[in-house]
Copies of this chain bind each other. A is one copy, B any other.
Amino acid sequence: SKTLKIAALAGDGIGPEVMREAIKVLRAVEKKFALTINITEAPVGWAGIDAAGKALPDATLKLCKESDCILFGSVGLPDRDPTIPKEERPERAALLRLRKEFSLFANLRPVKLPKELSHACPLAKERQGTGIDILVVRELTGGMYFGQPKKTEQISAGASKATILRAIDTMVYTTPEIERIAHVAFKTARLRRKKVTSIDKANVLENGVLWRDVVTTVAKEYPDVQLEHMFVDNGAMQLVLKPTQFDVMLCENMFGDILSDEAAALGGSLGMLPSASLGSAGSTGQFGFYEPAGGTAPDIAGKNLANPIAQILSTALMLRYTFNLNDAALAIENAVGKVISDGLRTGDIFSASETNARKVGTTEMGDAIAAAI
């Protein structure tokens, strides 16, 4: 069978230590399913700047291009050198650059609160209903993230001679960009509870009106899927008031950034949530970028405190979407489910009120999941 070629970019903060556990679990999967997995690690983010002077070193980018997919940790350390130009900072120079370079337009962010972790959800029990299970489908290569013009300029200073600056960002979407992400939303909804809530701001934005029109048209190809439109401000409110009403939430880039983080807060812990960023489907699976929902968490980095589950579940999405290895993906997801129901908890999901819970560190959690494969 073919070799799976994975570029593993751990990045900064807790990135390296959660990546270590994810690779441990991947090796267990490799053995169990008799796969050949070729994992090559390379620096990115501040680690890239330190190693090769760039957040995305040329060698790292080359490796990504030669691989089937990217398993990503996280990048960005708010306290590192504030004088470095914004275009060269890890967020823009590595993360946004990779999204654009590989046309990763479809970002899937599942939020699922395991019933054992109900206590970790900030909502009152009765709001959790029979369980929160939301998939945010976020457009990832358009909108205000990349639209031009995007600049800061000096404008006429007036009589007072004070320097006045004007910042401009541009939100742009075209019909085909909205169509392709809408198809992703409707297709994934078919594998779930068959409901799409499309988020926009059609009462204010030109983009909102176009978004709503195009999504409505695409929906006609999926008569079995229920479509609902919701203004983004109401969406932010409804997520808190009644999250169980949502199945798939379809969002443009910036709204998806905001609402997926809000939804993630309902999932008990960011440390549990994986994500997948996909390009167009090729014939043999698709190139993908897999990363945990949380950030670099510098405050707990290097202390064996981070929850590695988000990174581990990201490898499951990788096996499923890029390599079409659904059994292997399920093996990982089931192993995670098992250790959770066995009561293993990193600090972020631990509650003293749980009688059978046992607090563990990053490596112990990774070991247990690898053992459960």
Taken residue by residue from 91 to 107, chain A's Cβ proximity to chain B (1 for < 8 Å, 0 otherwise) reads as 11000100000000000
User: Provided the pairs A164-B176, A206-B150, A206-B151 are in contact, do residues A261 and B241 lie with their beta carbons within 8 angstroms?
Assistant: no
Bound together, the chains give a CA A373 to CA B314 distance in angstroms of: 59
| A264 proximity list for chain B (CB < 8 A) | 237
In the complex, what's the smallest C-beta–C-beta distance from A211 to chain B, in angstroms? 8
Judging by beta carbons under 8 Å apart, are B165 and A89 in contact? Answer: no
Judging by beta carbons under 8 Å apart, are A164 and B174 in contact? Answer: yes
Taken residue by residue from 237 to 276, chain A's Cβ proximity to chain B (1 for < 8 Å, 0 otherwise) reads as 1111100000000000011011111101110001000000
User: Which one of B127, B176, B240 contacts A262 once the chains associate, using CB atoms below 8 Å?
Assistant: B240
Secondary structure type dominating chain A contacts? helix
Name the residue on B nearest A119 (C-beta).
Answer: B124
User: How many chain A residues touch B (Cβ–Cβ < 8 Å)?
Assistant: 65
Taken residue by residue from 145 to 181, chain A's Cβ proximity to chain B (1 for < 8 Å, 0 otherwise) reads as 1010011100100000011111111111111100000
User: Which one of B144, B202, B210, B237 contacts A265 once the chains associate, using CB atoms below 8 Å?
Assistant: B237
Judging by beta carbons under 8 Å apart, are B258 and A165 in contact? Answer: no
Judging by beta carbons under 8 Å apart, are A210 and B165 in contact? Answer: yes
In the complex, what's the smallest C-beta–C-beta distance from A366 to chain B, in angstroms? 25
| A259 proximity list for chain B (CB < 8 A) | 236
Q: Which of A211-231 contact B (CB under 8 A)?
A: 211
Bound together, the chains give a CA A319 to CA B203 distance in angstroms of: 31
| A202 proximity list for chain B (CB < 8 A) | 86
A15 within 8 A of B: no
Judging by beta carbons under 8 Å apart, are A145 and B204 in contact? Answer: yes
Point out residues on A near B: beta carbons under 8 Å: 76, 86, 89, 91-92, 96, 121-125, 127, 144-145, 147, 150-152, 155, 162-176, 201-207, 209-211, 232-234, 236-241, 254-255, 257-262, 264-266, 270
CB<8 Å pairs between A and B, sample of 12: A92-B203, A96-B204, A122-B241, A144-B171, A155-B174, A169-B171, A201-B257, A236-B236, A236-B258, A236-B259, A236-B265, A239-B262
